[in-house]
Structure 1
Amino acid sequence: MKLADRIEFFRRLRELNPHPKTELLYDSVFELLIAVMLSAQSTDVGVNKVTRRLYPRANTPQAMLALGLPELRKAISTLGLYNAKAANVFETCRILVERHGGEVPRERAALEALPGVGRKTANVVLNTAFGEPTMAVDTHIFRLANRTGLAPGKTVRQVEDKLLKAVPKEFLVDAHHWLILHGRYVCKARKPDCPNCVLRDLCRYRDKTV
């Protein structure tokens, strides 16, 4: 996709949604980190239902440790992979308290060293909480980047690297949210809503719906 088209691509997304944000509910960097950890193979809606009940009881690493692993496991039991998620969250809280003074680090290496925190989760936290120009590639963004021709790649890392080069600098901080929301609600997996897509004329997808 040519530079002029890429600029127009994001200009239109910005016009529709000038201040995009994650649909996960949070009031602190710690709450965001935990919500993103819980969101693996779960919907944001499902995670928000859990955290609405969990955070009033425990919304700091210290409070989460005081809650205890069995209670944490019970609190998130409606989510997929809840046993593994509970173990990772609990161990992450222990590390945050022991090594980081109870604060979420803003360095990638330190974030990725936390149990259950991979590159994608670290990218979300760095971008959403700290305003870093990172690109967290989930299934929606991977599909959209390939389908539109914006940043085609065979792997998540290839798409991430290409997006960081393809997205014009002025749009980079918000690009992750624009792309994930467009992929979630318009450029859907089974049947993209091409007739109502503001990017239709810029998109290189050959099988556009009518």
Structure 2
Amino acid sequence: MPRIQTTKRQASAGFGLVELLLAMALGLMLCGVVVQALLGEGRNAQQFSRLVRERNHQRRALALIRTDLEGATEVVNEAAPLPVSCGVAGRQVVLQLKRDGTVISYSVGAPPSGIWRGQVLMRCGPAYGLEGRIDPSSASLSRVVVDGLASDPSSWAGCGRLPGATALNGSTGLPFSACLDPASQLVAMRLEQSFTDGGGPVQRVRSEVVAGVG
């Protein structure tokens, strides 16, 4: 009796065209998610770095003002600011200190040139020498202390919780504000900057300090 042989065809292994397209689409989606996450982390790192840098700028600016205060004999507290030897070019005078027969003035307003960002805080007074002390023989110079001040600062209420203090030269609505307690000659100060990175939301950096004459 003849023997009948049967053969089984093995199904060919592999993916069809539809499966390959789906796999590619899923892979592209996953790559997009990863790229977006990396870009987000990069923006966050950039914003944090900028925040730290601006805080350092504020810290140095307030340290300079504190040094001027500690070496001063009096904080000017008059109805109108004293004349500024360097000129103010339309900026608003906020804080004036008497020291060794000269007046050191801090003012807020437009920058002296286009290299600075936004509003600036400027100091008019005798220069510091290499040893970190004021040179009394030097002429008064006008210098930018810090730039990038907030164009729409928040109103400063309470004068930094300094009892008995009143605002100097109506500065509570300025990005650099100062209040004086006449009895103790303590000065409370507020400095506020604002900036954006990469088209993101506006970030604000704000610092407050209290320092006294002498």
From the CA coordinates, give the structure whose radius of gyration is larger.
2
Say yes or no: TM over 0.5. Answer: no
Q: 1 or 2, which has the higher helix percentage?
A: 1
Q: 1 or 2, which has the higher strand percentage?
A: 2
Q: For the superposition of Structure 1 and Structure 2, which TM-score range results when normalised by the shorter chain?
A: under 0.3
Q: With a CA cutoff of 8 Å and minimum separation of 6, indicate the structure with the bigger relative contact order.
A: 1
TM-score, normalization by structure 1: 0.27
TM-score, normalization by structure 2: 0.27
